[in-house]
Amino acid sequence: MSDINNNNYSGDSIEETRKKKMEEFKRTFDKSVMNDDYDDTPQVYQEKDENSYRGYASSSSPLKRRKSNEINSYSDQDTKKRIERESKKALKQQSKEDKRIEKNKAKRNQKMFKWVWITMVVLVSIVLSQVIMVGVNDILAIEREDNAKEVEISIPANPSIEQIAEILEDNEVIDNAKYFTIYANITTEAEYFRQGEFVISTGKDYEAIINFLQSNVNRTDIVQVQLTEGMNVLEIATKLHDEGVTSDVQVFLDMCNSDIFDEDFEFLKNCEDRGERYYKLEGYLFPDTYDFYLNEDPESTIYKLLNNFENKVYYDEEKHYKDGEKTTIEELVKNTDYSMDEIITIASIIQAEAANDEDMYYISSILHNRLDHGVEVGVAQLNCDCTVYYPYREYKDVPETIRGTYKSTYDTNTFNGLPAGPICNPSLKAIRAAIKPYETDYYFFCHSSTDDGSVPYYASTIDDHNYNLTLIE
């Protein structure tokens, strides 16, 4: 009391001060409990007013509740489960939110990609359309036909489509070699193009250009060659080479001794093998004046010659008569004792030996007489000088490497009867003479050489023939 009195506190003031202190203590204590900053040892505060502190040690005090929660785990497990549920729920909501964000992001990216794609397609379409239009204009010659002109071009042998395209572009026949190359590779083959010289219009479309260059009819590099009666295969091959028609003589000769034309010409199937035949086509390369192309394919050249033989011998009825009516040579041959191949062989000898048209019929009669009755009169051989060096014309034509020992299998001074095949290519006159000779009893002939030409002499006996030989010396 003395202290209180000394501090001049009244009773009411002391009580108020105590309450304030307690409130202040409770706030401090509650804060410590919230921060877990407290001693978990139970304490009982005893002051003069114990009733004022009893509540802090009771079971409902924060201190006891905290202690009780740590001791009793049931409520703590529930809290954990609740927290886990809330965590899962939060994660699920977060996942949904992330998916929503990704989905929106994907939509934005897809939309942007779509616009980029559309832009690219438009740009490519514009470029492609320009390329296509240029190609179409060139393919159809839309811009060239208005200013068309004639130009000369030269196509080499065995050209590639790329080579042809470059030649056409260089000569302004087309605008773009690449477009032509693509088009030609799709629609045709390089092997169908013809070599040679062409005069072509620059106003043609691609298809017209291809058709134009694949036909020999449009070539301008034409050379006219006359193959005279009596020329043999070697002489024909040499002349064609000299005129620029055939680039390889040996290829031409090989074809003349092949069977590659048999399927197209029936008469070749009937060629007889009467021994060692030099050239199968000898006698069937019809002599005439032809238009050939420079560096022409030998097969095409031979086809022309064989076609002409077939037309003239098998189909042409002009001046061929039997019993006053027109007929073909083929029909006339059927009325003889000889095959067509034998008649052509006889005609080739007549062509090589006769001095003139009239002489052909006399020589034909002598050959027929020897073939039919030669053994009986002692002349089994035909004894025709034109056969001695075949396939060469004369001794000087035989290659030097074999000239000294050369023996022809066609030499009618050595072998009886007809040689293995024709020795040259006879004319229609010689063929007609071989079919229907004059009727004579001659077995010998000879010719003298004069300024007016060769004069023939005929004889029935060897004595008369020897006499005739004295006349021509």
Look at the block and give the residue holding tokens 């080579």: 163
Look up residue 439 and give its amino acid.
E
pLDDT at 18: 67
pLDDT reported for residue 387: 96
Residue tagged 């019929």 (tokens) = 361
Residues paired with residue 455 on neighbouring β-strands, in sequence order: 448
| Highest mean pLDDT: which range of 132-141, 187-196, 321-330 | 187-196
pLDDT in tens, 104-115: 777 777 767 667
Q: What digits encode the pLDDT tens for the residues 220-230?
A: 999 999 999 99
The CA-to-CA distance between both ends of the chain, in Å, stands at: 198
In sequence order, which residues have a C-beta less than 8 Å from that of residue 51 and are 6 or more positions away? none
Pair 466, 448: CB distance under 8 Å: no
Q: What are phi and psi of 155, to 5 degrees?
A: -100, 125
Which domains, from first to last, does the chain contain?
Answer: 2-71 (no CATH), 145-218 (3.30.1490.480), 226-442 (no CATH)
Single out the residue of 223, 176, 217 nearest to residue 198, CA to CA: 217
Nearest alpha-carbon partner for 381 in 429, 415, 335: 415
Q: Which residue would you say has higher pLDDT here, 321 or 302? A: 302
Summary mean pLDDT of the chain = 83
User: In angstroms, rounded to a whole number, what is the distance separating the alpha carbons of residues 28 and 372?
Assistant: 161
pLDDT at position 38 is 44
Residue 299: its pLDDT value, please? 94
pLDDT confidence bin for 328, thresholds 50/70/90: confident
Q: If DSSP codes are grouped into helix, strand and coil, which group holds residue 155?
A: strand
Buried b (16+ CB within 10 A) or exposed e, 444-458: bbbbeeeeeeeebbb
Highest-pLDDT range among 10-14, 130-134, 303-307: 303-307
Please tell me the total number of residues recorded for the chain in this structure.
473
Q: Which two tokens stand for residue 421?
A: 């095949």
Cβ-contact 210, 187 below 8 angstroms: yes
Query: DSSP E strands: which ranges in 267-310?
Result: 289-293
Alpha helices in 140-196 (DSSP H): 161-170, 177-187
Give the Cα separation of 380 and 126 in Å (integer). 90
pLDDT at 82: 76
Quick: pLDDT tens for 345-385. Answer: 999 999 999 999 999 999 999 999 999 999 998 898 999 99
Q: Is the pLDDT of residue 404 over 60?
A: yes
Residue 271 to residue 280: CA distance in whole angstroms: 7
Nearest to 282 by CA among 438, 386, 406: 386
Lowest mean pLDDT among 206-210, 310-314, 315-319, 464-468: 315-319
Model pLDDT, residue 129: 57
The model's confidence at residue 81, banded by pLDDT at 50, 70 and 90, is: confident
Amino acid, res. 285: L
For residue 449, give the 3-state DSSP assignment: strand
**Cα dihedral: 37, 41, 44, 45 (round 10):** -40
If you count DSSP H runs as helices and E runs as strands, how many of each does the chain have, helices first?
A: 18, 8
State residue 45's pLDDT score. Answer: 43
Backbone angles phi, psi at 459, to 5 degrees: -150, 150
Residue 473's pLDDT is what? 75
Q: What is the pLDDT of residues 123-168, one digit of tens each?
A: 666 655 555 655 577 787 777 777 889 999 999 988 999 999 999 9
Range in 15-19, 166-170, 454-458 the model is least confident about: 15-19
> Is the confidence at residue 94, as pLDDT, over 90?
no
CA-to-CA separations, 253 to 197, 385, 391, in angstroms, rounded: 26, 24, 12
Identify the pLDDT of residue 188: 95
**Predicted structure pTM score:** 0.67
- 196-201 vs 150-155, strand pairing mode: antiparallel
Q: Which residues face 152 on adjacent strands?
A: 199
Q: Which of 61-65, 152-156, 295-299 has the lowest mean pLDDT?
A: 61-65
On the 0-12 / 13-18 / 19+ scale of CB atoms within 10 A, 343 is buried
Q: Which two tokens stand for residue 201?
A: 């219009």
Check whether 70 has a pLDDT greater than 50. Answer: no
Are 204 and 141 in contact by the 8 Å Cβ rule? The answer is: yes
